[in-house]
Amino acid sequence: MRFIEAVLRANEELYTLLHVKGLQTTHHQAFEVGAGGDRSAGIDLEAEKIFIKHLLPFGEILSEESGVIENPATSARIVLDPIDGSDNLLSHLPYYGTSVAYFEAGKCTQAVIVNLANGDVFIKDEQGLRQGKIGSDTFLYVRKNSFSKVGIFERSYASNCVHQKLFDAKIKYRSPGAFALSLAYAHDVDFVLYVGKMRSYDIEAGLFMCADLETFCEGEIFLVSKDKEIFDKMIGLFKSD
C-alpha cells in the first residue's frame, strides 16, 4: 500500500490546489508539446511536479508531459498522466482527473485513477478494484452496474463512420473527454469505446482496472464492456465492413 498511499497524497495535494487555491493565470499558459504529443498547459506541468515529488522514490516515471524521469535505483516503472482531461479542466467542465499505473517486471500490479472534479478514487492492486473518495479511508469493492443506460465513446468527434454505425444501431453514448477516467467508470456504463491512436499514458491504469471485462483492441478501435451482449453487438458493427 505504500505506493498507493503516495499516489493518494499526491492527488490530495493536487485536489487542494484546484479546489481551495483555484486555477491561476499561469495554469492556463501553453508550453511546448509534451511527450504524449499534446501541448502542455501550466496546470499539466505543475501537477506533474507534484507527482514526481511523491512518486519518484518508487521507480522511473514515464509521464505524458516530460517523458522519462529516471530512477536508477529501481527497475519499477510508473506510467503517469498528471491531468487526464486538462482541456475539460481549463474549460471548467467537471470531468478531469489523474491516472497512475505501477509496473514491476513489465507487469502492471497497482493502479490509481482519480476524478479530481468530484473526488472519486479508484484503486486496484492484489486486493481487487475498489472505489472511494479523496480524503476517505473507506473503499468499497466495485461491482458491475446492471442498470446502466448509456456507454462512453471517447473522441467521438473524430470518427464519423463509427458514430453513424452507433446511431443506426440506436446505441446511446456520451463523450466526456478523459479516456483514463472513463475506463475507471467502465463497470458502471454499458461500454467504453475509443477510436484513434492510443498512448500508454491514457490506457495502462484503466486497462488494468478493466481486466475482468470484455475487451477488444484492434487497429485504432478499443472497446471494453461489462455486458457480453452489447459487446458482441458492437463488435459485429465494427466488423460489418
Q: Annotated binding site for Mg(2+), which residues?
A: 64, 81, 83-84, 202
Q: How open is the CA angle 121-99-54, to the nearest 5 degrees?
A: 90
Residues making up the binding site: 64, 81, 83-84, 202
The side-by-side arrangement of strands in the sheet containing 77-84 is 67-69, 60-63, 77-84, 97-104, 107-115, 120-125, 128-133, 140-141
Percentage helix, strand, coil for the chain under 3-state DSSP, each rounded to 5: 35, 30, 35
Cβ within 8 Å of residue 168, ≥6 positions away: none
Q: How far apart (Å, rounded) are the C-alpha atoms in residues 121 and 160?
A: 33
Alpha helices in the chain (DSSP H): 2-16, 25-28, 42-55, 86-90, 160-168, 179-184, 200-209, 228-238
19: DSSP letter:
I
Pairing of β 77-84 and β 60-63:
parallel
Q: How far apart (Å, rounded) are the C-alpha atoms in residues 173 and 150?
A: 5
Nearest by Cα to 130 from 118, 117, 114: 114
* Count of C-beta atoms within a 10 Å radius of residue 140: 8
Write phi, then psi, for 159 (nearest 5 degrees): -140, 85
